[in-house]
Amino acid sequence: MADTLIEPAPRATAETEPAPRATTETEPAPRATAETETAPPGQETRQETRQEHRTPTVIADGVDIVYRVTGTGAGRGSATAALNRIVRREKHGKGGVREVHAVKGVSFTAYEGEAIGLIGTNGSGKSTLLRAVAGLLPTENGRIYTHGQPSLLGVNAALMSDLTGERNVMLGGLAMGMSREQIRERYDGIVEFSGINEKGDFITLPMRTYSSGMAARLRFSIAAAKDHDVLLIDEALATGDRKFQKRSEARIRELRATAGTVFLVSHNNKSIRDTCDRVLWLERGELRMDGPTAEVLGEYEKFTGAGK
Amino acid sequence: MSQTLDTPQTPAPVETPEQAPLDAAALAALHGLSVSNARPSLPQYVRQLWARRHFITAFATAKLTAQYSQAKLGQVWQVMTPLLNAAVYYLIFGLLLGTSKDIDDFVPFLVTGVFVFTFTQSSVMAGTRAISGNLGLVRALHFPRASLPISLCLQQLQQLLFSMAALAVILLCFGVPPAWSWFLVVPALALQFAFNTGLALVMARLGSRTPDLAQLMPFVMRTWMYGSGVMFSIKKVLPEQGVPEFAKVLLECNPAAVYIDLVRYALIDSFDAGQLPYDIGAMWALALGWAVVLCVGGFIYFWKAEETYGRG
C-alpha cells in the first residue's frame, strides 16, 4: 500500500509499514516534512473516521508503468536507419528500444462518491495513470484493483468520425453495454446534454464535420449517459464552452451521488476546485501529494508559481 | 500529508507485520474489486461477446453504410466495385492472355472467383486494421475487443450479399441455367465466413502489434489470389507448367481455392465434379476443417492478448 505517503509520528500506530517494502521505498526527506507541515491535524482525523465506513472503488498498489518506445535512434524515419536498427537489434537484443518510466510507485485508494482531481505539470504521468486505471495500459509492477469497469474519457477518443452523431450515440451506448431500449430512452437526453442541436440539426451530420469542441461534448454526453462505477475524465471538458462545463460539472456531481467515483485530469485549477474534493498531485511520475483540494492546489500553485 | 491513502484502519494498533492492516489485495478482495486490465476467462469472454451482439451487428451496418458516404454515387459502389474488379481481370486474363480458351463459361468462372476471393481478401484487410484503425474507440470504451474484427467480417458478409446478387444477374446473362444446387452457396459461404473471421482475428492481433502489416498485406493477398486459381484452373494449368506435385496439392488445398471451387461447383453448370481436385465430399470436409480450425484457433489466439489492445 501507500508506503511512500505514510506519515511519521501521529498515525504510526495504525499504519505500520509492511516490512518487506520498507527497505526499498523510503520517503525522500524534504517532501515528507513539507507535507507534514501542511496537514492540519483536526481535518486529518475527521477524514480518517469517514473513510473507515466507505467502500473503496479503485486501489492502486505500488503502480509502475513503463513505456517501450521504438524508433528513437538518430535519423529515425530514414530507411537506412530503420534497417540499421533491425540489424543491430538482432545483434544486441534490444537496441533501438527506449524505456520511459512514466509512473513510479504510485499508491492510493479511491472511495465511493469521491471526485478526485489529478494535477501535475505536462508529462507528469497523469493521463498514463488514468489509462492504467481504465485497464488500457499494463502495469510493470504493482496492481490496480477496480470496482466494475472504469470508463476513460479522453480528448482524442474519437468515436467513428465517418458516422453521424446519431449513429455514434447508438454505437457508443451499445459498446458500453446498454441495450437498444435504454439508448432509445436516453437518446434525447444525451443529445440535449451535448447541446449539439442548439445551433441546428447537427446530430444527423457525420462526426467528421463537427468542431473539436462539439465532438468532445458529444463524446462526454455519450459516456456520461451511463451510470459508471468509475469514470475517468482526461481533459475532456477543456474543449467545451463555459455553459457546457457547468452542465458537465453538475453531471459529475450526479454521478458521485449515485456512488460512482470520478477522476478528473485538468489544468484548469478552477474546474478542479469546483468539482473535486480530493486531489492527487503527480510530478515526474511520482505521487507528490494527496489530500483535500484546497490544500494540494495551494501547494501546487506555489510550485508552479501560478496566481494565489 | 493530509490523509491516509491506504487501508481503512484496523481498530487495534498493529505492531507485527503479520497482523498489518489489510494489504491492497486483501482489501480489494474484501470489497469485490477485481484487477484492472485482467483478461477474462474464455467462457466469460464468450459471454461478454454475446452480450455485445447488438453492438457487433450495429457496428457492421453502420460501417457498411458509411463506407461510400463520401462518394457521389454512394451505395452504387457496393455493386460497382466488385464488377469493375471482375472487368479488369476479364480484360487482362480473358482477352489479352487468353486464359479463357480452355475454360467453359469463362466469365461466370472468373467473376465467381473474384467475388469469393474478395470476400476473404477484404475480411483479412479489415481484420488487420480492426484494432489499429479503431484505436479511438478501443481506448475510449470498454467492450470485448473481438467485437471489432468480427463486426468487420460481418460487414464484408453484408457486402458479399450485394456481390452475390450481381453475380446471379451475370450468371443468368451468360446463360448459366438456375438450379437447386445454387442453394449450396449458402453453406459454402457460411463456412468461408467462419474461416474469414478466424483469420481476421489472427490478423487483428498481429496488426495491433505491428501496424506495418497493413502495408505488407496487399502483396500477400495478391500472391494468394494468383495462387488460388481465381482466373485460371489450377488443375489444368499447373501440370503443363511443370509445377511439382506438392505445390499443386498445396495450392488446391488452400482454403481460398477450396471455397472458390465449392461456390463454382454450386453455381456453374459446366463446372462439374471433373473440375474439382478431389471428390465433392473431400472438398466439403476441407472447407469445414479450415473453417473450424481458423475460427476456434483464431478466436483463442486473439483472446490471449485481449488486455494488450489499445496500448501504445
Q: What is the pLDDT of residues A56-86, one digit of tens each?
A: 888 888 888 888 776 655 445 566 666 665 5
What pLDDT sits at residue A46? 42
Q: How close does chain B come to A105, measured CA to CA in Å? A: 13
What pLDDT sits at residue B70? 77
* Residue among A19, A109, A154 whose CB faces B17 most closely: A19
Of B276, B282, B129, B288, the C-alpha closest to B193 is B288
User: Average pLDDT in the B25-42 region?
Assistant: 80
Residue B38 has pLDDT above 70, yes or no: yes
Q: Whole-number mean pLDDT of chain B?
A: 84
Residue B306 touches chain A, beta carbons under 8 Å: no
Judging by DSSP bridges, how do beta strands A278-283 and A261-265 pair with one another?
unpaired
Q: How close does chain A come to B269, measured CA to CA in Å? A: 43
User: Average pLDDT in the B40-57 region?
Assistant: 92
Number of Cβ pairs < 8 A linking chain A and chain B: 210
Q: Which stretches of chain A drop beneath a pLDDT of 70? A: 1-53, 70-97, 154-159, 236-239, 259, 306-308
The band of B277, judged by pLDDT with boundaries at 50, 70 and 90, is: confident
Q: With contact defined as beta carbons under 8 Å apart, do A276 and A255 qualify?
A: no
Burial, A205: exposed, middle or buried (Cβ in 10 Å; 0-12, 13-18, 19+)?
middle
Residue A135 touches chain B, beta carbons under 8 Å: yes
- Grid cell at residue B226: 494468383
Residue with grid cell 489444368, as numbered in its chain: B236
Beta carbons of B8 and A163 less than 8 Å apart: no
Chain A residues whose CB is inside 8 A of the B33 CB are 56-59, 145-147
Residue B157 has pLDDT above 80, yes or no: yes
What pLDDT sits at residue A10? 40
Q: How close does chain A come to B10, measured CA to CA in Å? A: 7
What pLDDT sits at residue A22? 37
Q: With contact defined as beta carbons under 8 Å apart, do B90 and B113 qualify?
A: no
State how far the Cα of B113 lies from the Cα of A91, in Å rounded to an integer: 45
What pLDDT sits at residue A83? 65
What pLDDT sits at residue A72? 58
User: Average pLDDT in the B206-230 region?
Assistant: 89
User: Average pLDDT in the B191-206 region?
Assistant: 96
A33: domain CATH number is 3.40.50.300
CA distances from A213 to A158, A267, B134 (A): 12, 17, 21
What pLDDT sits at residue B64? 87
Beta carbons of A61 and B1 less than 8 Å apart: no
**Has residue A21 been placed in a domain?**
yes
- Grid cell at residue A269: 485549477
- Grid cell at residue A224: 456520461
**Has residue A122 been placed in a domain?**
yes
Beta bridge partners of A56: A111
**Has residue A277 been placed in a domain?**
yes
What pLDDT sits at residue B292? 96
Residue B72 touches chain A, beta carbons under 8 Å: no
**Has residue A157 been placed in a domain?**
no
Q: How close does chain B come to A31, measured CA to CA in Å? A: 9
What pLDDT sits at residue B56? 93
**Has residue A17 been placed in a domain?**
yes
- Which range has the top average pLDDT, A149-158, A261-270, B74-83, B187-196? B187-196
Residue B285 touches chain A, beta carbons under 8 Å: no
- Grid cell at residue B128: 488487420
Nearest chain A residue to B148, by CA? A175
Q: H or E segment at B234?
A: helix B234-240
Residue A137 touches chain B, beta carbons under 8 Å: yes
Residue A132 touches chain B, beta carbons under 8 Å: yes
Q: How close does chain A come to B46, measured CA to CA in Å? A: 14
Residue with grid cell 489470389, as numbered in its chain: B225
Q: How close does chain A come to B49, measured CA to CA in Å? A: 10
Q: H or E segment at A261?
A: strand A261-265
User: Average pLDDT in the B215-238 region?
Assistant: 87
- Grid cell at residue B90: 476479364
What pLDDT sits at residue A246? 83
Residue A141 vs residue B260, higher pLDDT: B260
What pLDDT sits at residue B239? 72
Nearest chain B residue to A2, by CA? B6
pLDDT above 90 as % of chain B: 40
Residue B12 touches chain A, beta carbons under 8 Å: no
Q: How close does chain A come to B166, measured CA to CA in Å? A: 27
Q: How many CA atoms lie within 13 A of A206 on its CB side?
A: 14
Q: With contact defined as beta carbons under 8 Å apart, do A129 and A118 qualify?
A: yes
What pLDDT sits at residue A236? 66
Residue A282 touches chain B, beta carbons under 8 Å: no
State how far the Cα of B22 lies from the Cα of A56, in Å rounded to an integer: 13
Nearest chain A residue to B133, by CA? A160
Residue B182 has pLDDT above 70, yes or no: yes
* Residue among A136, A138, A206 whose CB faces B139 most closely: A136
Nearest chain A residue to B310, by CA? A136
Residue B61 touches chain A, beta carbons under 8 Å: no
Residue B179 has pLDDT above 90, yes or no: no
Interface predicted TM-score of the whole assembly (ipTM), two decimals: 0.71
Q: What is the pTM of this model?
A: 0.76
Q: Assign B38 to helix, strand or coil.
A: coil
> Where in chain B are the domains?
1-33, 39-308
Look up residue B98 and give its DSSP letter.
Answer: -
Instruction: Find residues 92-151 of chain B whose CB sits inside 8 Å of chain A.
Output: 134, 136-143, 147
Residue A223 touches chain B, beta carbons under 8 Å: yes
What pLDDT sits at residue B262? 94
Number of domains in chain A: 1
**Has residue A204 been placed in a domain?**
no
Beta carbons of B1 and A36 less than 8 Å apart: yes
* Residue among B2, B27, B66 whose CB faces A43 most closely: B2
Residue B258 has pLDDT above 70, yes or no: yes
Q: With contact defined as beta carbons under 8 Å apart, do A280 and A119 qualify?
A: yes
Domain encompassing residue A234? 3-150+228-304
Chain A residues whose CB is inside 8 A of the B54 CB are 174, 179-180
What pLDDT sits at residue A70? 65
Residue B311 touches chain A, beta carbons under 8 Å: yes
Nearest chain B residue to A154, by CA? B140
Q: With contact defined as beta carbons under 8 Å apart, do A129 and A63 qualify?
A: yes
Residue with grid cell 489479352, as numbered in its chain: B96
